[in-house]
Amino acid sequence: MKATAKFLALLVLLGAFVAGSSQAGYEKYSVAAIHAHLYFHSTGEISPTDLLDGKQHALWNTIIGGGEAGKPSGAIWVLVDLTGPTFANIDGKLTLKAIEGEKTLLSQTVSLGIWFKEGQKVVLPFLVYDTGCEKLEITATLEDLPATMVERALLKKVVPFECGE
């Protein structure tokens, strides 16, 4: 009887540990990552290569298909990973800004409430036009959530586009 009670107590503790560890890092909301992929307007394809994967990318004259693009690309598909305790009935917003030099190519705010998910991660899509010749700064910002519920509200990344002869 004592062995059974100890075994059951051990199972309860193990279950609590596993449940706690699977929730680790998601007690608060966070802009977890930004991904950027070339959009090829001649085919409608999206490149599988994430330009923000931490590797060097040849992005010279992308608008005419130069560098690793291989075919003309004048837009990028941006995906923003958000993590948090739940995305079911959440208030708050995400604003994405894409700035090339002094020119704002995109400033878009979306409500988190439309991205219902009972899980702990959502990926929000954006399309940024007129890209490919200058360094592109992408900033994702969580807004309208209490500060006590947010781990990382802002994430900024740069896609190093360039053009020239």
Domain that holds residue 131: 26-159
In a domain? residue 1: no
Closest to 105 measured CA to CA, from 78, 82, 81, 123: 78
In a domain? residue 137: yes
- How many other CB atoms are there within 10 angstroms of residue 49's CB atom? 15
In a domain? residue 67: yes
- How many other CB atoms are there within 10 angstroms of residue 125's CB atom? 11
DSSP of 21-70: HHTTT-SSEEEEEEEEEEEETTTTEE-S--TTSSS----BTGGGTTGGG-
d(CA 118, CA 79): 20
What pLDDT, in 10s, does the model give residues 81-115? 999 999 988 899 999 999 999 999 999 999 999 99
In a domain? residue 165: no
What pLDDT, in 10s, does the model give residues 121-150? 999 999 999 999 999 999 999 999 999 999
CATH at 146: 2.60.40.10
What pLDDT, in 10s, does the model give residues 40-80? 999 999 999 999 999 999 999 999 999 999 999 999 999 99
Q: Is the pTM of this model over 0.85?
A: no
Q: Provide the token pair at 111.
A: 């409500």
Cα atoms in the Cβ-side hemisphere of radius 13 Å centred on 38: 29
Give the chain's domain count: 1
User: CB–CB of 93/142 below 8 Å?
Assistant: yes
